[in-house]
Amino acid sequence: MKKILTIQDISCMGKCSLTVALPIISAMGVETVILPTAVLSTHTMFKGYTCKDLSDQLVPIAEHWKKEHVVFDAIYTGYLGTVEEIDTVKKLISDFRTPDTLVFVDPAMADNGRLYPAFDMHYARKNAQLCAIADVIVPNITEACFLTNTLYKETYDEACIRDLLAKLTELGSKVVALTGVSLSEGKTGVYGYDAIKKEYFQYQNNKVNASFHGTGDIFSSVVVGALANGISWQESLRIAADYVAHTIEVTMNDPDKPFYGVDFELTIPDLIRELPGKSSPPSFRP
Ligand code: PXL
């Protein structure tokens, strides 16, 4: 079984970061080792959240794993709380990286033109250094602008997106996938670039007129799970985009939907059916 390490916070309630990565990637048949960077009562979009920083635990935990000779097929980072934490994570990546390890960075720090409450420009610059050592990065357009010192604009065309992809590629990663790219009315999706093969990829879904927290983390988790299943990066992005679109649609139809996240728990079985060879999973019933 493939084994991945994911490094991000636990927002105890909020359907984001580790509380989506762990169930989704595990359900995709991939062992998911977690390195929690902090424990928050909720994600930071709630007022009055508590936060216990676990930065001082990262190195001792990793040291123990080293003694156990643990090897990861992929390392996936998400929301990281501080600049110092990014430095620690960079070091952990270089310690655990082998020639076969996929390093996947979701520079989760901003949306809709603004940084999340806990972050500033110093943090954004540090996140660019983390992106530089990744194989794959998946920023949304806002994050891409902060990472590349580009002015954020609500409206853009395909040339702007390719420009942004070029600047992101200069940071150093091999595959860059921009999320939340809307190139025609009523559509949204992902626009990717493989800097080694010099190939573009794009995929668009119908845009739902609602924004749900945690969908970026769900998207990344599905991409990592799919890549770990040996699926190409283009197909992994397509599966993740379709899964997020489907999950948002299901959530919109739920009269009891929480305001803080989507009903991904209801759609995990549909995701598994999308994986090659898993269209009719065997039953555990005798
Ligand atoms: O979904 C990204 C995320 C993860 N973790 C925490 C957050 C956010 C976004 O706001 O606050 C704690």
pLDDT by residue, tens only, the chain of 286 residues: 999 999 999 999 999 999 999 999 999 999 999 999 999 999 998 999 999 999 999 999 999 999 999 999 999 999 999 999 999 999 999 999 999 999 999 999 999 999 998 899 999 999 999 999 999 999 999 999 999 999 999 999 999 999 999 999 999 999 999 999 999 999 999 999 999 999 999 999 999 888 899 999 999 999 999 999 999 999 999 999 999 999 999 999 999 999 999 999 999 999 999 998 877 767 888 8
Q: Look-up: residue for tokens 């990472």? A: 147
- Which of ligand 1's atoms lies nearest the C-alpha of 40? 12
Q: From the CA of 19, how far away is ligand 1's center (Å)?
A: 11
The predicted pLDDT at position 60 comes to: 98
Helix count (H) and strand count (E) of the chain? 9, 11
- Please choose from 116, 219, 259 the residue to mutate so as to test ligand 1's pocket, defined by most ligand atoms within 8 A of CB: 116
Pocket test for ligand 1, best of 7, 10, 17, 52 (most atoms within 8 A of CB): 17
Question: What is the predicted pLDDT for the residue at 284?
Answer: 86
| Lookup result for tokens 């879904």 | 205
Whether 190 and 241 have beta carbons less than 8 Å apart is answered as yes
pLDDT of residue 211: 84
- Indicate the pTM of the whole model: 0.97
The answer, yes or no, to whether any atom of ligand 1 lies below 6 A from the CB of 19, is: no
Q: How far is CA 253 from the centre of its chain?
A: 25
pLDDT in the model for residue 282: 74
Ligand 1 contacts CB of residue 76 (under 6 A) = no
> Which ranges of 44-134 does DSSP label H, i.e. alpha helix?
55-67, 83-96, 121-132
